[in-house]
């Protein structure tokens, strides 16, 4: 009987081991926890669409027709230092810095505004052929979301698509990709209307990690106007990650583990 058992194991082992290995790896998506390291004030009048950190300051693109703007923010106080208001016909969306220029998307107007980052002076515009949601840069390309599961890599000079990826999590597409940030070779994305941020491999589109930030803004700080989580900023010099939301009163520096 033992001999039969050994013979069966000999033939079945190559099939059993891969199954065991797969089960040990789980889904392949790491579920991160977070801790709050610092809390800063945020302008509760800002409908945050794009959010990034550059040279000691936060920069924020806000939405809503009639109140959209591009602003430079004092990080410690949340005070707006300089701003450029958009015409009432534009709804501001994602924004990022690339080679000393700020690129700011608009929602359905298919127009990207370009500013000198030192003065917020408008220096040009570019056109594109989809909705504008999130925007970031990997240093050579602009990376754009449009509210679907697709992320586009663009030529910064022409806004022409160079390539695109479809974002999937365990084989299923991930829709509602919104505000983006490029952090240590990975794309971080807010999932619109959720409290989750996903980490995406920019080559494959696979979600490799997720952070559930539910409850980070206490209920005591929420009002009838408080909207969803949206805004990821990264300071590569100090390796700091900051998150906020639409009409939120706080910006949170977080560490994940």
What are the DSSP calls for 31-91, one per residue? EE-EEEEEEEE--TT--EEEEEEETTEEEEEE-STTT-EEEEEETTT--EEEEEEPPTT--
What's the pLDDT tens digit per position in 20-45?
Answer: 333 333 468 999 999 999 999 999 99
Helix (H) / strand (E) containing 244: strand 240-245
From residue 191, give the alpha-carbon distance in Å to each of 5, 32, 39, 230. 51, 16, 22, 8
Residue 182 pLDDT: 98
| Average pLDDT along the chain | 90
Give CA 10 to chain center in angstroms: 49
The model carries a pTM of 0.87
From residue 69, give the alpha-carbon distance in Å to each of 9, 23, 46, 64. 67, 49, 9, 9
Class of domain 28-256: mainly beta
Share of the chain above pLDDT 70, in %: 89
What's the pLDDT tens digit per position in 112-122?
Answer: 999 999 999 99
Give CA 50 to chain center in angstroms: 9
For residue 31, which of 225, 221, 190, 256 has the smallest C-alpha distance? Answer: 256
Which residue stretches of the chain have pLDDT < 70? 1-27
* CB-based contacts of 212, cutoff 8 Å, min separation 6: 31, 195, 196
């Amino acid at each position: 009987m033992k001999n039969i058992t050994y013979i069966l194991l000999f033939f079945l082992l190559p099939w059993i081991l891969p199954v065991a290995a797969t089960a040990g790896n789980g889904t392949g998506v790491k579920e991160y926890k977070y801790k709050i390291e610092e809390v800063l004030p945020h302008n509760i009048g800002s409908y945050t669409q794009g959010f990034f950190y550059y040279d000691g300051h936060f920069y924020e693109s806000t939405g809503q027709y009639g109140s959209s703007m591009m602003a430079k923010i004092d990080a410690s106080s949340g005070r707006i230092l300089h701003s450029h208001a958009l015409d009432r016909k534009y709804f501001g969306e994602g924004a990022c810095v690339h080679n000393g220029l700020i690129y700011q998307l608009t929602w359905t107007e298919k127009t990207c505004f370009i500013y000198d980052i030192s003065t917020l002076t408008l220096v040009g515009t570019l056109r594109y052929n989809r909705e504008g949601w999130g925007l970031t840069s990997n240093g050579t390309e602009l990376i754009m979301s449009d509210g679907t599961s697709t992320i586009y890599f663009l030529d910064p000079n022409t806004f022409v698509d160079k390539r695109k990826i479809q974002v999937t999590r365990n084989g299923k597409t991930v829709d509602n990709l919104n505000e983006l940030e490029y952090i240590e070779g990975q794309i971080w994305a807010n999932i619109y209307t959720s409290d989750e941020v996903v980490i995406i491999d920019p080559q494959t589109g696979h979600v490799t990690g997720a952070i559930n930030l539910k409850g980070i803004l206490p209920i005591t700080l929420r009002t009838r106007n408080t909207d969803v989580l949206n805004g990821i900023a990264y300071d590569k010099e100090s390796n700091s990650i900051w998150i906020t939301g639409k009409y939120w009163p706080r910006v949170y520096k977080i560490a994940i583990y």
